[in-house]
A = this chain, B = another copy of it.
Amino acid sequence: MDFSVRAANLEDSKDIARMIMELAEYEKLADHVKITQKDLERDGFSKNPFFHVVITEVPEQHRTKEGHTKIGYAFYYYSYSSWKGRSIYMQDLYVMPEFRGKGVGKTLMSKVAQLALAAGCHQLNFTVADQNKPSMDFYLSQGCFDVTASLGYHYMCCEGKALEHLAQP
């Protein structure tokens, strides 16, 4: 299948917001999504962006029945390991269901790995839900390492009232 992978720009924000929601729906966690297209435009495409996106596009003749030609994305930001140094954290890797199994996800992740190495990063980190077995199998087949399974690391979150309470001196 013919497809291109490129850095996303401001005009892609609407499709990125759509696909973020599609991914959350796939994970049955759509009610967790609070982000808007406007947030993405402000935080991803200003002078010091908080995140970056690479996006996959297919030619017009392969567009979905809803008319979409942007059919996958990888969402990442630069991070830092106090053990290994510069890293990239890949927040999302998504390909629309009808385009899976054609190497799109692998190409997107490969692009992120290239960007990581070019920026002097030593690690590419991400999380995957253990019930998402196809993704977990794919990552393990690529030589990725399950830090939760091997070192017992749990991913934790503090938000909302707990975060406000914690911030009180």
Contact B157 A143 (CB under 8 A): no
Minimal beta-carbon separation of A19 from chain B (angstroms) = 9
Residues of B within 8 A of A126 (CB): 156
Q: Which residue of B lies closest to A139 (CB)?
A: B156
Other A-B pairs beyond A123-B158, A155-B155, 17, CB < 8 Å:
A32-B83, A43-B85, A51-B80, A51-B82, A82-B92, A122-B163, A123-B163, A124-B157, A125-B155, A136-B154, A139-B156, A139-B158, A142-B162, A143-B158, A143-B166, A146-B154, A147-B155
A77-B79, A80-B51, A143-B165 known; A113-B34 Cβ under 8 A: no
Q: Determine the interface band of chain A, counting residues with CB < 8 A from chain B.
A: 35 or more
Which among B24, B80, B144, B149 is the interface contact of A83 at CB below 8 angstroms? B24
Contact B110 A168 (CB under 8 A): yes
